[in-house]
Amino acid sequence: MMKNKFLTFLNGVDLSFDRVREYERTKHIHRLHPYLGKFIPQLVEIFLKHYFKKGDWVLDPFLGSGTTLIEANTLGMNSAGIEISFFNCLISETKTKKYNLPEVENEIKDILFKTKNFSRWYQNPKQRFTLSKNGYKELTINSDYFNTWFSKRAMQEILFYRNQIKNYKNQDILKIILSRSTRSARQITHYDLARPKKPIKNSYWCIKHRRMCQPIDEALKFINHYSWDTISRLKEFDKLRTNAKIRVIQGDAREVNLNNLPDYKGGKFNGVFTSPPYIGLIDYHDQHRYAYELFGFQNNDKKEIGPAFNGRSREAKEKYKEDITKVFQNINQWLKPKAKIFVVVNDRDGLYLNIAQDCGYKVEAVYHRPVLMRTERDNTKFSESIYCFIKNK
Ligand SMILES: C[S@@+](CC[C@H](N)C(=O)[O-])C[C@H]1O[C@@H](n2cnc3c(N)ncnc32)[C@H](O)[C@@H]1O
Domain ranges, ordered by start, for the chain: 9-98+241-391, 101-236
Q: Does residue 254's CB lie within 6 angstroms of at least one atom of ligand 1?
A: yes
Distance 73 CA to ligand 1 centre (A): 19
Q: What is the pTM of this model?
A: 0.94
Report whether residue 88 contacts ligand 1, using a CB cutoff of 6 Å. Answer: yes
DSSP category for residue 276: P
* Protein residue closest via CA to atom 15 of ligand 1: 304
Whether the CB-CB separation of 268 and 336 falls below 8 Å is answered with yes
- pLDDT tens track for 35-81: 988 899 999 999 999 999 999 999 999 999 999 999 999 999 999 99
- Residue 311 CA to ligand 1 centre (angstroms): 17
Return the ligand 1 atom nearest residue 82 CA.
21
Question: In ligand 1, which atom is closest to the CA atom of 253?
Answer: 20
Q: Find the 37 Cα to ligand 1 centroid distance in Å.
A: 9
Angle at 355 between CA 349 and CA 357, to 5 degrees: 130
286 contacts 85 by C-beta, under 8 angstroms: no
Q: Which of 63, 300, 319 to mutate to test the pocket of ligand 1 (most atoms within 8 A of CB)?
A: 63
Of 91-95, 104-108, 251-255, 279-283, the poorest mean pLDDT is in 279-283
Instruction: Assess whether the C-beta atom of 84 lies below 6 angstroms from ligand 1.
Output: yes
pLDDT at 1: 46
Ligand 1 contact, 188 CB (< 6 A): no
User: Rounded to an integer, what distance in angstroms lies between the CA atom of residue 170 and that of residue 148?
Assistant: 30
Is residue 156 within 8 A of residue 122, CB to CB? The reply is yes
**Long-range contacts (CB closer than 8 Å, 24 or more residues apart) made by 301-305:** 303/84, 303/252, 304/84, 304/85, 304/277, 305/254, 305/276, 305/277
What single-letter amino acid sits at 62? F
Query: How large is the average pLDDT for residues 84-103?
Result: 98
- Please choose, from the candidates 35, 55, 28, 26, the residue with its C-alpha nearest in 3D space to the C-alpha of residue 271: 55
Q: What is the pLDDT of residues 301-358, one digit of tens each?
A: 999 999 888 899 999 999 999 999 999 999 999 999 999 999 999 999 999 999 999 9
Top-level CATH class of 9-98+241-391? Answer: alpha beta
